[in-house]
Amino acid sequence: MNTVTVKNVVIGEGLPKICVPIVSKTRVEIIEEAKSITDIPVDIVEWRVDWFEGSNDLKQIIAVLEDLAPALNEIPLLFTFRTKREGGEKAIEAASYAALNQAVAATGLVDLVDIEIFTGDEIVKSAIEHIHASKVKVIASNHDFDKTPSKEDIVERLRKMQDLGADIAKIAVMPNNKLDVLELMAATVIMSEQYARIPIVTMSMSGIGVVSRLTGEAFGSAITFGSAKKASAPGQIPVKELDHVLQLLNRSMH
């Protein structure tokens, strides 16, 4: 499997990298939160732009990015507009969604862009090509807030992301029971050991899925999401506790 390097962070080897989402609504709050994040163990910061009050205005988004990139002080930045369809705050047309992500990548102010894989194959393929042309990496993603698909289906979705040209493949699913968590973790092992040419990121959401956020190194998931202030998805653990457990598991495994 190939690793992915953004700034000084190598994704796909060693400890799962900790990604912290910023879900503030105003420009001032977003920058304040970014400055406070630099004091905690974090590898990547995700700006969830769908929470931002100016998310339908490219000029306002770029104005925030111009302050955000320097505030993060060399921490890689992941740009994500999570659509309503996949658990985000706002709905957006597929063409506008692709155009926004491509325009943001072209600014050179972000290191990674999240693209939802079920936006339409041609749109996704074209968006990934454009984003790559701006020398920005793509995390292809899919979120199921209702259920956990079968492990065969999860593996198929991750392989689709890989085939469409993503640099990293990510899936988050909702468990309805404990066996669902095992289904996601089994899919992670199968994908990482048999099919993955790129790093994969998997998680089972909510309280019973928390174990999946901690055991990435053992099962094959390369990034885990923790919260600094407000969680962006059910089951996210505060970053310092998350880092402590990841370090503990790492020492026990080696």
Catalytic residue at 143?
A: yes
Strand partners, 143: 172
> Which listed residue (125, 143, 240, 244) is catalytic?
143
46 is known to lie in a ligand binding site:
yes
Among residues 17, 130, 137, 170, the one annotated as catalytic is: 170
182 token code pair: 């095992």
159 labeled binding residue: no
Q: Is residue 232 marked as binding?
A: yes
Tell me whether residue 252 is annotated as binding. no
Answer yes or no: is 86 a known binding residue: no
Q: Assign residue 157 a region (left: φ > 0; alpha: ψ between -120 and 50; beta: otherwise).
A: alpha
Q: Residue 51: name the closest of 78, 21, 93, 18 by CA.
A: 21
Question: DSSP letters along 57-121, please?
Answer: -HHHHHHHHHHHHHHTTT--EEEE--BGGGT-SB---HHHHHHHHHHHHHTT--SEEEEEGGG-H
**Residue 193 annotated as binding?**
no
102 is in an annotated binding site: no
Quick check: helix, strand or coil at residue 248?
A: helix
By annotation, the residues acting in catalysis are 143, 170
Binding residues for 3-dehydroquinate: 46-48, 82, 213, 232, 236
